[in-house]
Chain A
Protein backbone atom coordinates (compact mmCIF):
# COMPACT_ATOMS: atom_id res chain seq x y z
CA UNK A 1 0.00 0.00 0.00
CA UNK A 2 1.34 3.41 -0.98
CA UNK A 3 1.17 5.47 2.17
CA UNK A 4 2.32 8.67 0.42
CA UNK A 5 4.79 11.20 1.63
CA UNK A 6 4.37 13.89 4.21
CA UNK A 7 3.65 17.14 2.40
CA UNK A 8 5.13 20.31 3.85
CA UNK A 9 2.74 22.28 1.63
CA UNK A 10 -0.35 20.72 3.24
CA UNK A 11 1.11 21.21 6.72
CA UNK A 12 1.72 24.89 5.86
CA UNK A 13 -1.85 25.32 4.58
CA UNK A 14 -3.33 23.78 7.72
CA UNK A 15 -1.01 25.94 9.85
CA UNK A 16 -2.01 29.10 7.98
CA UNK A 17 -5.68 28.26 8.29
CA UNK A 18 -5.27 27.54 12.01
CA UNK A 19 -3.43 30.84 12.51
CA UNK A 20 -6.10 32.80 10.63
CA UNK A 21 -8.82 31.15 12.70
CA UNK A 22 -6.95 31.85 15.95
CA UNK A 23 -6.37 35.56 15.30
CA UNK A 24 -10.11 36.02 14.81
CA UNK A 25 -10.94 34.60 18.21
CA UNK A 26 -12.17 37.02 20.83
CA UNK A 27 -9.94 35.40 23.44
CA UNK A 28 -6.80 36.65 21.70
CA UNK A 29 -8.14 40.18 21.48
CA UNK A 30 -9.14 40.08 25.15
CA UNK A 31 -5.73 38.79 26.25
CA UNK A 32 -3.84 41.36 24.13
CA UNK A 33 -5.93 44.25 25.50
CA UNK A 34 -5.56 43.04 29.10
CA UNK A 35 -1.82 42.48 28.67
CA UNK A 36 -1.40 45.94 27.12
CA UNK A 37 -3.42 47.53 29.93
CA UNK A 38 -1.31 45.77 32.58
CA UNK A 39 1.88 46.76 30.75
CA UNK A 40 0.71 50.36 30.72
CA UNK A 41 -0.16 50.21 34.43
CA UNK A 42 3.48 49.24 35.16
CA UNK A 43 4.39 52.81 34.20
CA UNK A 44 2.07 54.15 36.88
CA UNK A 45 3.17 51.74 39.60
CA UNK A 46 6.94 51.80 38.98
CA UNK A 47 7.50 53.92 42.11
CA UNK A 48 6.29 50.91 44.16
CA UNK A 49 9.18 48.82 42.87
CA UNK A 50 10.92 48.39 46.24
CA UNK A 51 13.95 50.36 45.15
CA UNK A 52 14.57 48.63 41.82
CA UNK A 53 15.42 50.99 38.95
CA UNK A 54 12.46 51.76 36.70
CA UNK A 55 13.76 49.95 33.54
CA UNK A 56 14.34 46.78 35.56
CA UNK A 57 10.87 47.00 37.04
CA UNK A 58 9.40 47.46 33.57
CA UNK A 59 11.43 44.47 32.34
CA UNK A 60 10.19 42.26 35.20
CA UNK A 61 6.59 43.33 34.68
CA UNK A 62 6.80 43.02 30.89
CA UNK A 63 8.21 39.49 30.85
CA UNK A 64 5.85 38.46 33.67
CA UNK A 65 2.82 39.65 31.70
CA UNK A 66 4.10 38.04 28.50
CA UNK A 67 4.60 34.68 30.20
CA UNK A 68 1.35 34.73 32.16
CA UNK A 69 -0.96 35.68 29.28
CA UNK A 70 1.08 33.69 26.79
CA UNK A 71 0.60 30.56 28.91
CA UNK A 72 -3.17 31.07 29.01
CA UNK A 73 -3.15 31.63 25.26
CA UNK A 74 -1.00 28.55 24.58
CA UNK A 75 -3.27 26.24 26.57
CA UNK A 76 -6.71 27.64 25.76
CA UNK A 77 -6.10 28.29 22.07
CA UNK A 78 -4.55 24.88 21.47
CA UNK A 79 -7.48 23.11 23.09
CA UNK A 80 -10.07 25.34 21.42
CA UNK A 81 -8.60 25.02 17.92
CA UNK A 82 -8.26 21.26 18.20
CA UNK A 83 -11.71 20.54 19.60
CA UNK A 84 -13.47 22.98 17.27
CA UNK A 85 -12.25 20.77 14.39
CA UNK A 86 -13.79 17.73 16.07
CA UNK A 87 -17.06 19.45 17.00
CA UNK A 88 -17.53 21.09 13.59
CA UNK A 89 -16.50 17.81 11.92
CA UNK A 90 -14.12 19.72 9.65
CA UNK A 91 -11.55 17.13 10.71
CA UNK A 92 -13.56 14.52 8.79
CA UNK A 93 -13.68 16.52 5.56
CA UNK A 94 -9.96 17.32 5.82
CA UNK A 95 -8.90 13.73 6.58
CA UNK A 96 -11.17 12.35 3.86
CA UNK A 97 -8.79 14.08 1.43
CA UNK A 98 -5.32 12.58 1.01
CA UNK A 99 -4.11 14.27 4.20
CA UNK A 100 -2.26 12.27 6.85
CA UNK A 101 -3.18 12.62 10.47
CA UNK A 102 0.43 13.56 11.20
CA UNK A 103 0.12 16.45 8.72
CA UNK A 104 -3.04 17.59 10.44
CA UNK A 105 -1.41 17.59 13.90
CA UNK A 106 1.77 19.26 12.62
CA UNK A 107 -0.36 21.91 10.90
CA UNK A 108 -2.33 22.57 14.09
CA UNK A 109 0.87 22.82 16.14
CA UNK A 110 2.45 25.04 13.48
CA UNK A 111 -0.56 27.37 13.53
CA UNK A 112 -0.46 27.68 17.31
CA UNK A 113 3.31 28.31 17.24
CA UNK A 114 2.76 31.06 14.66
CA UNK A 115 0.12 32.63 16.86
CA UNK A 116 2.41 32.49 19.90
CA UNK A 117 5.23 33.98 17.84
CA UNK A 118 2.98 36.87 16.82
CA UNK A 119 1.91 37.34 20.46
CA UNK A 120 5.50 37.30 21.76
CA UNK A 121 6.76 39.54 18.94
CA UNK A 122 4.07 42.16 19.56
CA UNK A 123 4.73 41.95 23.33
CA UNK A 124 8.48 42.33 22.89
CA UNK A 125 8.12 45.24 20.45
CA UNK A 126 5.82 46.98 22.96
CA UNK A 127 8.21 46.28 25.85
CA UNK A 128 11.28 47.41 23.91
CA UNK A 129 9.48 50.62 22.85
CA UNK A 130 8.47 51.28 26.44
CA UNK A 131 12.02 50.68 27.67
CA UNK A 132 13.49 52.88 24.96
CA UNK A 133 11.12 55.70 25.85
CA UNK A 134 11.71 55.44 29.60
CA UNK A 135 15.48 54.98 29.31
CA UNK A 136 15.70 58.01 27.00
CA UNK A 137 13.55 60.07 29.38
CA UNK A 138 15.62 59.00 32.41
CA UNK A 139 18.90 59.73 30.60
CA UNK A 140 17.62 63.18 29.65
CA UNK A 141 16.56 64.09 33.20
CA UNK A 142 19.66 62.66 34.88
CA UNK A 143 22.65 62.11 32.62
CA UNK A 144 24.39 60.04 35.33
CA UNK A 145 21.68 57.39 35.50
CA UNK A 146 23.30 54.95 33.04
CA UNK A 147 26.93 55.80 33.70
CA UNK A 148 27.51 52.52 35.52
CA UNK A 149 26.45 50.63 32.37
CA UNK A 150 23.10 49.25 33.60
CA UNK A 151 21.28 50.27 30.43
CA UNK A 152 19.17 47.29 29.26
CA UNK A 153 20.26 45.71 26.00
CA UNK A 154 17.51 45.55 23.38
CA UNK A 155 19.18 42.52 21.79
CA UNK A 156 18.82 40.73 25.13
CA UNK A 157 15.17 41.76 25.34
CA UNK A 158 14.50 40.35 21.87
CA UNK A 159 16.39 37.15 22.70
CA UNK A 160 14.40 36.94 25.94
CA UNK A 161 11.20 37.18 23.89
CA UNK A 162 12.37 34.28 21.76
CA UNK A 163 13.09 32.24 24.88
CA UNK A 164 9.56 32.92 26.12
CA UNK A 165 8.18 31.85 22.75
CA UNK A 166 10.05 28.55 23.06
CA UNK A 167 8.58 28.05 26.55
CA UNK A 168 5.06 28.69 25.25
CA UNK A 169 5.72 26.40 22.28
CA UNK A 170 6.67 23.55 24.62
CA UNK A 171 3.52 24.20 26.66
CA UNK A 172 1.36 24.17 23.49
CA UNK A 173 2.92 20.84 22.40
CA UNK A 174 2.21 19.30 25.82
CA UNK A 175 -1.40 20.55 25.67
CA UNK A 176 -1.87 19.24 22.13
CA UNK A 177 -0.60 15.81 23.14
CA UNK A 178 -3.24 15.70 25.90
CA UNK A 179 -5.97 17.04 23.58
CA UNK A 180 -5.17 14.40 20.95
CA UNK A 181 -6.47 11.61 23.18
CA UNK A 182 -8.80 13.53 25.53
CA UNK A 183 -12.53 13.02 24.97
CA UNK A 184 -13.53 16.44 26.32
CA UNK A 185 -12.01 19.87 25.93
CA UNK A 186 -12.42 20.48 29.68
CA UNK A 187 -10.14 17.54 30.48
CA UNK A 188 -7.51 18.81 28.03
CA UNK A 189 -7.77 22.33 29.42
CA UNK A 190 -7.40 21.27 33.05
CA UNK A 191 -4.52 18.90 32.17
CA UNK A 192 -2.77 21.72 30.31
CA UNK A 193 -2.91 23.98 33.35
CA UNK A 194 -1.74 21.11 35.59
CA UNK A 195 1.22 20.58 33.27
CA UNK A 196 2.02 24.31 33.48
CA UNK A 197 2.06 24.19 37.29
CA UNK A 198 4.18 21.01 37.34
CA UNK A 199 6.67 22.43 34.83
CA UNK A 200 7.02 25.61 36.89
CA UNK A 201 7.43 23.78 40.21
CA UNK A 202 9.50 20.81 39.17
CA UNK A 203 12.80 22.61 39.70
CA UNK A 204 11.90 23.00 43.37
CA UNK A 205 10.81 19.35 43.60
CA UNK A 206 14.03 18.11 42.00
CA UNK A 207 16.11 20.29 44.31
CA UNK A 208 14.50 18.74 47.35
CA UNK A 209 14.83 15.18 45.96
CA UNK A 210 18.50 15.82 45.20
CA UNK A 211 19.02 16.13 48.93
CA UNK A 212 17.73 12.60 49.45
CA UNK A 213 20.20 10.14 51.00
CA UNK A 214 19.32 7.14 48.87
CA UNK A 215 20.87 7.23 45.38
CA UNK A 216 17.94 5.37 43.78
CA UNK A 217 15.55 8.09 44.95
CA UNK A 218 17.81 10.70 43.39
CA UNK A 219 17.96 8.64 40.17
CA UNK A 220 14.21 8.13 40.09
CA UNK A 221 13.64 11.85 40.71
CA UNK A 222 15.93 12.71 37.83
CA UNK A 223 14.10 10.26 35.56
CA UNK A 224 10.64 11.52 36.52
CA UNK A 225 11.86 15.10 36.31
CA UNK A 226 12.90 14.51 32.71
CA UNK A 227 9.39 13.56 31.57
CA UNK A 228 8.15 17.16 31.70
CA UNK A 229 10.40 20.15 30.98
CA UNK A 230 11.71 22.41 33.70
CA UNK A 231 10.37 25.92 33.05
CA UNK A 232 12.83 27.44 35.52
CA UNK A 233 15.53 27.47 32.84
CA UNK A 234 13.41 29.86 30.76
CA UNK A 235 13.52 32.50 33.48
CA UNK A 236 16.20 34.76 32.02
CA UNK A 237 15.13 38.20 33.25
CA UNK A 238 18.11 38.44 35.62
CA UNK A 239 20.47 37.72 32.72
CA UNK A 240 18.80 40.46 30.67
CA UNK A 241 19.00 42.86 33.61
CA UNK A 242 22.75 42.25 33.72
CA UNK A 243 22.92 44.36 30.58
CA UNK A 244 24.83 42.22 28.10
CA UNK A 245 23.30 40.08 25.37
CA UNK A 246 22.25 36.51 26.26
CA UNK A 247 25.11 34.12 25.48
CA UNK A 248 24.96 32.04 22.31
CA UNK A 249 25.59 28.92 24.39
CA UNK A 250 22.57 29.63 26.59
CA UNK A 251 20.34 30.41 23.61
CA UNK A 252 21.53 27.38 21.64
CA UNK A 253 21.09 25.08 24.64
CA UNK A 254 17.60 26.30 25.44
CA UNK A 255 16.54 26.10 21.78
CA UNK A 256 17.74 22.50 21.57
CA UNK A 257 16.07 21.66 24.91
CA UNK A 258 12.77 23.14 23.67
CA UNK A 259 12.95 21.48 20.26
CA UNK A 260 13.48 18.09 21.91
CA UNK A 261 10.37 18.54 24.09
CA UNK A 262 8.29 19.97 21.23
CA UNK A 263 9.30 17.00 19.05
CA UNK A 264 8.59 14.44 21.78
CA UNK A 265 5.17 15.85 22.69
CA UNK A 266 4.33 16.57 19.04
CA UNK A 267 5.21 12.95 18.25
CA UNK A 268 3.05 11.76 21.13
CA UNK A 269 0.15 13.88 19.81
CA UNK A 270 0.57 12.30 16.35
CA UNK A 271 0.65 8.81 17.83
CA UNK A 272 -2.50 9.36 19.92
CA UNK A 273 -4.35 11.06 17.06
CA UNK A 274 -3.51 8.26 14.63
CA UNK A 275 -5.22 5.82 16.97
CA UNK A 276 -8.15 8.08 17.78
CA UNK A 277 -11.58 7.08 16.47
CA UNK A 278 -13.22 10.09 14.90
Chain B
Protein backbone atom coordinates (compact mmCIF):
# COMPACT_ATOMS: atom_id res chain seq x y z
CA UNK B 1 0.00 0.00 0.00
CA UNK B 2 1.18 3.47 -0.80
CA UNK B 3 1.41 5.90 2.09
CA UNK B 4 1.45 8.85 -0.31
CA UNK B 5 0.07 8.98 -3.82
CA UNK B 6 0.65 11.98 -6.03
CA UNK B 7 -0.98 12.27 -9.44
CA UNK B 8 -0.03 15.11 -11.77
CA UNK B 9 0.72 17.61 -9.02
CA UNK B 10 1.29 21.06 -10.46
CA UNK B 11 1.71 24.21 -8.44
CA UNK B 12 1.86 27.75 -9.77
CA UNK B 13 2.65 30.80 -7.69
CA UNK B 14 1.83 34.35 -8.55
CA UNK B 15 4.01 36.92 -6.83
CA UNK B 16 1.38 39.66 -7.06
CA UNK B 17 -1.69 40.84 -8.94
CA UNK B 18 -0.93 40.83 -12.65
CA UNK B 19 2.50 39.25 -12.12
CA UNK B 20 3.63 36.31 -14.23
CA UNK B 21 2.99 32.81 -12.88
CA UNK B 22 5.93 30.86 -11.57
CA UNK B 23 5.60 27.09 -11.91
CA UNK B 24 7.06 25.55 -8.75
CA UNK B 25 5.94 21.98 -9.48
CA UNK B 26 5.18 20.50 -12.86
CA UNK B 27 3.14 17.30 -13.09
CA UNK B 28 4.69 15.29 -10.26
CA UNK B 29 3.31 11.75 -10.11
CA UNK B 30 4.69 9.21 -7.70
CA UNK B 31 3.80 6.75 -5.00
CA UNK B 32 5.63 6.40 -1.71
CA UNK B 33 5.38 2.97 -0.22
CA UNK B 34 4.34 2.53 3.40
CA UNK B 35 7.07 1.43 5.79
CA UNK B 36 9.93 2.83 3.71
CA UNK B 37 12.25 5.76 4.14
CA UNK B 38 12.22 7.96 1.06
CA UNK B 39 14.42 10.95 0.36
CA UNK B 40 13.33 13.93 -1.64
CA UNK B 41 16.45 15.34 -3.26
CA UNK B 42 17.09 18.38 -5.35
CA UNK B 43 18.94 21.68 -5.46
CA UNK B 44 17.58 24.74 -3.66
CA UNK B 45 14.43 26.01 -5.36
CA UNK B 46 13.66 22.68 -6.97
CA UNK B 47 10.24 22.50 -5.28
CA UNK B 48 10.93 20.05 -2.43
CA UNK B 49 9.39 22.15 0.35
CA UNK B 50 6.40 23.07 -1.84
CA UNK B 51 5.76 19.38 -2.51
CA UNK B 52 6.00 18.58 1.21
CA UNK B 53 3.51 21.37 2.01
CA UNK B 54 1.08 19.99 -0.57
CA UNK B 55 1.35 16.52 0.98
CA UNK B 56 0.64 18.10 4.38
CA UNK B 57 -2.37 19.96 3.01
CA UNK B 58 -0.81 23.34 3.84
CA UNK B 59 -0.84 24.32 0.16
CA UNK B 60 -3.46 23.47 -2.41
CA UNK B 61 -2.10 22.21 -5.75
CA UNK B 62 -3.04 24.15 -8.89
CA UNK B 63 -3.75 20.78 -10.53
CA UNK B 64 -3.48 17.13 -9.59
CA UNK B 65 -4.46 14.92 -6.72
CA UNK B 66 -2.62 14.11 -3.51
CA UNK B 67 -3.66 11.31 -1.16
CA UNK B 68 -2.21 10.24 2.17
CA UNK B 69 -3.10 6.66 3.21
CA UNK B 70 -5.87 6.78 0.62
CA UNK B 71 -7.57 9.97 1.84
CA UNK B 72 -7.14 13.46 0.38
CA UNK B 73 -4.23 15.33 1.96
CA UNK B 74 -5.33 18.04 4.36
CA UNK B 75 -8.38 16.25 5.72
CA UNK B 76 -8.51 15.32 9.40
CA UNK B 77 -7.68 11.60 8.95
CA UNK B 78 -4.65 12.45 6.83
CA UNK B 79 -3.34 15.02 9.28
CA UNK B 80 -3.82 12.71 12.26
CA UNK B 81 -1.55 10.20 10.54
CA UNK B 82 1.23 12.69 9.80
CA UNK B 83 4.03 14.22 11.89
CA UNK B 84 5.90 17.16 10.38
CA UNK B 85 9.23 18.80 11.06
CA UNK B 86 9.80 22.00 9.06
CA UNK B 87 13.19 23.19 7.86
CA UNK B 88 15.16 25.06 10.59
CA UNK B 89 12.21 25.04 12.98
CA UNK B 90 11.68 27.65 15.63
CA UNK B 91 9.16 27.43 18.43
CA UNK B 92 7.49 29.65 21.03
CA UNK B 93 10.41 31.09 23.01
CA UNK B 94 8.36 31.48 26.19
CA UNK B 95 7.59 27.76 26.44
CA UNK B 96 9.90 25.08 27.81
CA UNK B 97 10.72 22.02 25.74
CA UNK B 98 8.16 19.97 27.69
CA UNK B 99 5.44 22.64 27.32
CA UNK B 100 6.16 22.89 23.58
CA UNK B 101 5.70 19.17 22.99
CA UNK B 102 2.61 19.17 25.25
CA UNK B 103 1.12 22.07 23.26
CA UNK B 104 1.58 20.19 19.98
CA UNK B 105 0.24 17.01 21.56
CA UNK B 106 -2.94 18.88 22.41
CA UNK B 107 -3.08 20.33 18.93
CA UNK B 108 -2.78 16.78 17.66
CA UNK B 109 -5.90 15.83 19.57
CA UNK B 110 -4.35 13.91 22.47
CA UNK B 111 -6.52 14.00 25.58
CA UNK B 112 -5.35 14.67 29.11
CA UNK B 113 -5.29 10.97 30.03
CA UNK B 114 -1.71 9.78 29.71
CA UNK B 115 -0.61 13.01 28.07
CA UNK B 116 2.50 13.67 30.22
CA UNK B 117 3.73 10.11 29.65
CA UNK B 118 3.35 10.48 25.88
CA UNK B 119 5.16 13.82 25.97
CA UNK B 120 8.05 12.44 28.04
CA UNK B 121 8.31 9.41 25.75
CA UNK B 122 8.65 11.66 22.68
CA UNK B 123 11.24 13.84 24.44
CA UNK B 124 13.18 10.76 25.52
CA UNK B 125 13.25 9.49 21.92
CA UNK B 126 15.17 12.59 20.85
CA UNK B 127 17.40 12.60 23.95
CA UNK B 128 16.33 15.91 25.44
CA UNK B 129 15.00 14.79 28.85
CA UNK B 130 17.67 16.69 30.80
CA UNK B 131 16.90 19.96 28.98
CA UNK B 132 13.10 19.58 28.81
CA UNK B 133 12.41 22.18 31.51
CA UNK B 134 14.53 24.88 29.88
CA UNK B 135 12.88 27.55 27.79
CA UNK B 136 13.10 27.08 24.02
CA UNK B 137 14.60 30.58 23.79
CA UNK B 138 17.78 29.22 25.37
CA UNK B 139 18.04 26.17 23.07
CA UNK B 140 20.68 25.78 20.36
CA UNK B 141 19.57 25.17 16.76
CA UNK B 142 20.32 21.48 17.13
CA UNK B 143 18.18 21.23 20.26
CA UNK B 144 15.32 23.03 18.50
CA UNK B 145 15.61 20.55 15.68
CA UNK B 146 15.31 17.70 18.18
CA UNK B 147 12.35 19.22 19.99
CA UNK B 148 10.82 19.68 16.53
CA UNK B 149 11.23 15.96 15.99
CA UNK B 150 9.68 15.28 19.39
CA UNK B 151 6.58 17.34 18.54
CA UNK B 152 6.32 15.47 15.24
CA UNK B 153 6.54 12.12 17.05
CA UNK B 154 4.30 12.85 20.03
CA UNK B 155 1.06 11.86 18.32
CA UNK B 156 2.61 8.56 17.21
CA UNK B 157 2.09 9.22 13.48
CA UNK B 158 2.47 6.54 10.80
CA UNK B 159 3.95 9.00 8.33
CA UNK B 160 6.76 11.41 9.21
CA UNK B 161 7.60 14.28 6.90
CA UNK B 162 10.96 15.77 7.76
CA UNK B 163 12.23 18.84 5.92
CA UNK B 164 16.03 18.92 6.32
CA UNK B 165 16.01 17.06 9.65
CA UNK B 166 19.76 17.35 10.19
CA UNK B 167 20.29 20.94 9.11
CA UNK B 168 22.14 22.87 11.82
CA UNK B 169 22.99 19.70 13.74
CA UNK B 170 26.55 18.53 14.47
CA UNK B 171 27.67 15.18 12.99
CA UNK B 172 27.06 13.34 16.28
CA UNK B 173 23.49 14.71 16.48
CA UNK B 174 22.94 13.93 12.79
CA UNK B 175 24.05 10.34 13.37
CA UNK B 176 21.60 10.06 16.28
CA UNK B 177 18.77 11.38 14.11
CA UNK B 178 19.78 8.90 11.40
CA UNK B 179 19.58 6.11 13.98
CA UNK B 180 16.17 7.38 15.12
CA UNK B 181 14.90 7.31 11.52
CA UNK B 182 16.12 3.72 11.21
CA UNK B 183 14.26 2.82 14.43
CA UNK B 184 11.08 4.45 13.09
CA UNK B 185 11.43 2.40 9.93
CA UNK B 186 11.85 -0.75 12.02
CA UNK B 187 8.56 0.11 13.76
CA UNK B 188 6.90 0.11 10.32
CA UNK B 189 6.55 3.86 9.97
CA UNK B 190 6.92 5.69 6.70
CA UNK B 191 9.42 8.54 6.54
CA UNK B 192 9.67 11.12 3.78
CA UNK B 193 12.59 13.47 4.21
CA UNK B 194 14.23 16.16 2.18
CA UNK B 195 17.94 16.57 2.62
CA UNK B 196 21.16 17.84 1.11
CA UNK B 197 23.19 15.37 3.21
CA UNK B 198 23.56 12.77 0.48
CA UNK B 199 25.85 10.61 2.53
CA UNK B 200 23.24 10.26 5.25
CA UNK B 201 20.50 9.71 2.68
CA UNK B 202 22.47 6.74 1.36
CA UNK B 203 22.78 5.36 4.88
CA UNK B 204 19.17 5.61 6.03
CA UNK B 205 16.91 5.80 2.96
CA UNK B 206 15.47 3.01 0.84
CA UNK B 207 14.39 5.17 -2.06
CA UNK B 208 15.01 8.62 -3.46
CA UNK B 209 13.05 11.01 -5.64
CA UNK B 210 14.99 13.77 -7.38
CA UNK B 211 13.44 17.06 -8.37
CA UNK B 212 14.86 19.83 -10.48
CA UNK B 213 13.05 23.01 -11.53
CA UNK B 214 9.81 21.52 -10.26
CA UNK B 215 10.07 18.35 -12.34
CA UNK B 216 10.72 14.83 -11.24
CA UNK B 217 14.02 13.89 -12.90
CA UNK B 218 14.69 10.52 -11.25
CA UNK B 219 13.13 8.11 -8.77
CA UNK B 220 13.97 4.65 -7.53
CA UNK B 221 15.82 2.58 -4.98
CA UNK B 222 19.01 4.18 -3.71
CA UNK B 223 21.27 1.35 -4.91
CA UNK B 224 19.67 1.42 -8.37
CA UNK B 225 20.14 5.15 -8.65
CA UNK B 226 23.76 4.88 -7.49
CA UNK B 227 24.40 2.16 -10.08
CA UNK B 228 23.07 4.41 -12.83
CA UNK B 229 26.01 6.74 -12.16
CA UNK B 230 28.26 3.97 -13.58
CA UNK B 231 31.31 2.30 -12.08
CA UNK B 232 32.01 1.11 -8.58
CA UNK B 233 33.68 3.25 -5.97
CA UNK B 234 36.27 1.50 -3.82
CA UNK B 235 37.01 2.65 -0.30
CA UNK B 236 40.57 1.72 0.67
CA UNK B 237 41.96 1.94 4.17
CA UNK B 238 45.50 1.54 5.54
CA UNK B 239 47.19 1.14 2.14
CA UNK B 240 50.90 2.08 2.36
CA UNK B 241 51.81 4.98 0.07
CA UNK B 242 54.34 2.94 -1.89
CA UNK B 243 51.59 0.44 -2.82
CA UNK B 244 49.64 3.01 -4.84
CA UNK B 245 51.78 2.43 -7.93
CA UNK B 246 51.21 -1.33 -7.70
CA UNK B 247 47.47 -0.80 -7.32
CA UNK B 248 47.39 1.49 -10.35
CA UNK B 249 49.36 -1.03 -12.45
CA UNK B 250 47.09 -3.88 -11.29
CA UNK B 251 44.00 -1.94 -12.30
CA UNK B 252 45.39 -0.91 -15.70
CA UNK B 253 46.39 -4.51 -16.46
CA UNK B 254 42.71 -5.41 -16.09
CA UNK B 255 41.40 -2.58 -18.26
CA UNK B 256 40.50 -0.33 -15.33
CA UNK B 257 41.71 3.16 -14.59
CA UNK B 258 42.40 4.91 -11.29
CA UNK B 259 40.15 7.85 -11.88
CA UNK B 260 40.47 9.89 -8.74
CA UNK B 261 42.20 9.77 -5.40
CA UNK B 262 41.20 11.97 -2.51
CA UNK B 263 41.07 11.96 1.23
CA UNK B 264 38.01 10.11 2.48
CA UNK B 265 35.56 12.47 4.21
CA UNK B 266 33.70 9.49 5.64
CA UNK B 267 36.91 8.65 7.47
CA UNK B 268 37.07 12.09 9.04
CA UNK B 269 33.42 11.82 10.01
CA UNK B 270 34.02 8.45 11.61
CA UNK B 271 37.04 9.74 13.52
CA UNK B 272 34.92 12.66 14.78
CA UNK B 273 32.05 10.43 15.85
CA UNK B 274 34.33 7.95 17.58
CA UNK B 275 36.15 10.74 19.40
CA UNK B 276 32.88 12.30 20.57
CA UNK B 277 31.59 8.89 21.64
CA UNK B 278 34.74 8.16 23.63
CA UNK B 279 34.63 11.65 25.15
CA UNK B 280 31.07 11.09 26.31
CA UNK B 281 31.86 7.72 27.79
CA UNK B 282 34.78 9.26 29.71
CA UNK B 283 37.58 7.53 27.81
CA UNK B 284 39.11 10.85 26.75
CA UNK B 285 39.90 13.59 29.23
CA UNK B 286 39.95 17.16 27.91
CA UNK B 287 43.48 18.65 27.82
Contact = CB atoms under 8 A, between A and B. Distances in A.
- Is the interface on chain A under 10, 10 to 19, 20 to 34, or 35 or more residues? 20 to 34
A277 B72 CA distance: 18
A4 B108 CA distance: 13
B103 interface: yes
B79 A20 contact: no
A99 interface: yes
B152 to A, nearest CB: 8
Contacts, number: 77
B107 interface: yes
Interface centre among A4, A21, A92, A277 (most CB of B within 10 A): A92
Interface in B13-64: 13, 53, 56-59
Nearest to B92: A21
Contacts of A20: 94-95
A95 B76 CA distance: 11
Contact of B151 (A88, A89, A93): A93
Contact of A2 (B76, B103, B109): B76
A13 B59 contact: no
Contacts of A99: 107
Contacts of B109: 97-98
B56 to A, nearest CB: 5
B91 A88 contact: yes
A246 to B, nearest CB: 37
B202 interface: no
A49 interface: no
B76 A96 contact: no
A89 B59 contact: no
Contact of A93 (B57, B71, B94, B148): B148
A24 interface: yes
B58 A92 contact: yes
B16 to A, nearest CB: 9
A140 interface: no
A3 B78 CA distance: 11
B190 to A, nearest CB: 15
A96 B80 contact: no
B225 to A, nearest CB: 29
B58 A95 contact: yes
Given A96-B58, A98-B108, A278-B53, A21 B91 contact: no
A9 interface: yes
Contacts of A96: 56-58, 79, 82-84, 161
B84 A98 contact: no
A210 interface: no
B106 to A, nearest CB: 5
A215 to B, nearest CB: 36
A4 B91 contact: no
B106 A93 contact: no
B104 interface: yes
B106 A9 contact: yes
A88 B90 contact: yes
B176 interface: no
Contacts of A145: none
Interface centre among A14, A95, A98 (most CB of B within 10 A): A98
A92 B83 CA distance: 11
Contacts of A17: 92, 95, 103
A9 B105 CA distance: 12
A218 interface: no
A24 B161 CA distance: 32
Contact of B107 (A2, A4, A97, A278): A97
Nearest to B55: A96
B89 A93 contact: yes
Contacts of A97: 79, 104, 107-109, 155
Interface centre among A2, A13, A89 (most CB of B within 10 A): A89
B247 interface: no
Interface string A221-249: 00000000000000000000000000000
B80 A98 contact: yes
Contacts of B252: none
Contacts of A9: 106
B59 A277 contact: yes
Given A97-B155, A278-B59, A92 B84 contact: yes
Contacts of B89: 89, 93
Interface of A: 1-4, 9-10, 13-14, 17, 20-21, 24, 88-90, 92-99, 277-278
7 contacts: A1-B71, A2-B75, A92-B58, A97-B79, A97-B108, A99-B107, A277-B13
Interface of B: 13, 53, 56-59, 71-72, 75-77, 79-80, 82-86, 89-92, 94-95, 103-104, 106-109, 148, 151-152, 155, 161
